[in-house]
């Protein structure tokens, strides 16, 4: 049927999927797909049949007709209640108009990505279970055997029975016509399926070749892109590392520059002070008399004189020990003479150093 409606629907795959889900469910197994003509569109896909509802514990079947407009699923289906012979629509129904058209929130809030035909049928069944949209026509009841009907009443009763028979005959003809249409559509569908088997095989082979070619191209492209991305990541890592090093070096150089500037300023200040001191010393030295060096190193008190003498003695004993070792090395002294002299000089040096330490200790004590 969808092949017969090529060009009518923009998304035939979605319609095929939704229709299959509806017809394979218990809620839609009493619906038959047809190519019908609605009031708005000349040729559309429709579902004709009954849907179940439960009213006061009893299960009923409500005849309905569901049309899928060309812009389905963007727009919702168009649904009607089609009462059969012996039934009539309920007046002032909240969800069914006088012409049988169904109005309900599910259709009003229809969303193409979340709504479908199965939920639509379930919603209609739930709404009709709460309030049936149609009921059986009242049948005239004979009140009693003894009551005598007038000639007019008999005529009306006969006309009513004829109308019922004619309605039943028309309904049977309509059902037979629908069956013939279904058989013709089934034969046409089988013929189209047989014709399309080879085309489908060729299309599958073409799709397979195209898929393999595209996969090979994508693999090659992906490999190239992956290598480029790895190279770019390596370069990015190097750039980040270099930027970090440059930032640290810049910070270090800034600190070094500030420190050097501070040191240069301090050095200039010290240079200026030293220059002034040199100039003052040069001016003062012109006025002073020459001073003997020995006079400058002359001790001022007895302890200082003792310390100077002891230091000189210690230094002379150290020199003597050096030359005694040198005489032993050159063979001018024997080992016994060397040991005697070293013992003698070491003893003297020990006493001199002990005396020196004692005097320094006394001197420090007196100063403190």
Antiparallel, parallel or unpaired: β 58-68 and 78-81: antiparallel
Among candidate residues 130, 135, 136, the one with its CA nearest the CA of residue 55: 130
109-140: b or e for each residue (b if 16 or more CB lie within 10 Å)? ebeeeebbbbebbbbbbebbbeebbbeeeeee
Architecture in CATH for domain 1-138: Roll (3.10)
H or E, element range at 50: strand 44-55
| CA 138 to the chain's CA centroid | 66
H or E segment to which residue 19 belongs: helix 12-23
Segment (H or E) for 251: helix 151-287
Residue 78, helix vs strand vs coil: strand
What residues contact 79, with CB distance under 8 A and at least 6 apart? 64, 65, 66, 67, 101, 102, 107, 120, 124
Cα within 13 Å of Cα(208), Cβ side: 6
Tell me, what's the pLDDT at 293?
67
Ordered per-residue pLDDT tens for the chain, 368 residues: 888 888 888 888 999 999 999 998 888 888 888 888 766 677 889 999 889 888 888 888 889 999 998 889 899 999 999 888 778 888 888 889 988 999 999 999 999 888 999 999 999 999 998 888 888 776 655 444 444 445 655 665 565 466 556 556 665 776 787 788 888 878 877 887 787 787 878 888 888 999 999 999 999 898 899 999 999 999 999 999 999 999 999 999 999 999 999 999 999 999 999 999 888 888 877 776 666 766 766 777 888 888 888 999 999 999 999 999 999 999 888 999 999 999 999 999 999 999 999 988 888 888 77
What is the pTM (predicted TM-score) of this model? 0.40
* pLDDT at residue 159 in the model: 55
How far apart are alpha carbons 134 and 142 in whole angstroms? Answer: 25
Alpha carbon distance 344, 7 (integer Å): 131
d(CA 282, CA 128): 125
Q: Which residues contact 85 (CB under 8 A, 6 or more apart)?
A: 164, 167, 168, 170, 171
Angle at 140 between CA 137 and CA 145, to 5 degrees: 155
Q: Alpha-carbon distance 25 to 22, whole Å?
A: 5
Give the pLDDT score at 144. 46
Tally of residues, the chain: 368
Residue 201, H or E segment: helix 151-287
pLDDT attached to residue 204: 85
The rounded distance, in Å, linking the Cα atoms of 116 and 20 is 11
The helix (run of H) or strand (run of E) holding residue 159 is helix 151-287
Residue with the two structure tokens 């919603």: 123
Query: Which helix (H) or strand (E) element contains residue 52?
Result: strand 44-55
HSE, CB side, 13 Å, CA atoms: give it for residue 318: 8
Q: Which two tokens stand for residue 211?
A: 């898929």
Rg (CA), the chain: 61
* DSSP calls for 270-303: HHHHHHHHHHHHHHHHHHSPP--HHHHT--SSHH
């Amino acid at each position: 049927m969808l092949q017969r409606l090529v060009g009518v629907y923009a998304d035939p795959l979605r319609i095929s999927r939704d229709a299959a889900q509806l017809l394979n469910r218990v809620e839609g197994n009493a619906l038959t797909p047809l190519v019908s003509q609605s009031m708005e569109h000349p040729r559309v896909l429709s579902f004709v049949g009954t849907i179940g509802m439960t009213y006061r514990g009893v299960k009923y079947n409500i005849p309905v007709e569901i049309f899928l407009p060309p812009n389905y699923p963007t727009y919702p289906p168009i649904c009607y209640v089609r009462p059969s012979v012996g039934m009539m629509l309920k007046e002032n129904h909240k969800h069914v108009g006088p012409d049988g058209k169904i109005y309900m929130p599910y259709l009003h809030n229809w969303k193409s990505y979340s709504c479908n035909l199965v939920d639509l049928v379930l919603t209609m069944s739930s709404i009709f279970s709460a309030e049936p949209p149609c009921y059986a026509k009242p049948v005239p009841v004979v009140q009693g055997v003894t009551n005598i009907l007038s000639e007019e009443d008999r005529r009306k009763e006969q006309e009513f029975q004829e109308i019922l028979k004619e309605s039943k005959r028309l309904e049977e003809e309509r059902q037979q016509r629908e069956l013939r249409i279904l058989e013709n559509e089934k034969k046409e569908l089988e013929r189209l399926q047989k014709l399309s088997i080879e085309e489908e095989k060729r299309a599958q082979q073409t799709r397979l070749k195209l898929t393999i070619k595209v996969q090979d191209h994508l693999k090659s492209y992906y490999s190239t892109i992956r290598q480029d991305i790895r190279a770019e990541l390596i370069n990015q890592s190097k750039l980040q590392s270099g930027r970090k090093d440059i930032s640290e070096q810049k910070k270090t150089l800034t600190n070094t520059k500030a420190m050097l500037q501070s040191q240069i300023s301090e050095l200039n200040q010290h240079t200026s002070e030293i220059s002034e001191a040199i100039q003052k010393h040069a001016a003062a030295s012109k006025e002073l008399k020459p001073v003997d060096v020995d006079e400058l190193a002359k001790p001022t008190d007895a302890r200082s004189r003792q310390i100077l003498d002891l230091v000189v003695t210690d230094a002379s004993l150290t020199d003597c020990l050096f030359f005694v070792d040198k005489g032993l090395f050159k063979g001018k002294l024997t080992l016994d003479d060397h040991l005697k002299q070293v013992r003698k000089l070491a003893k003297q040096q020990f006493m001199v150093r002990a005396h020196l330490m004692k005097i320094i200790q006394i001197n420090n004590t007196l100063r403190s």
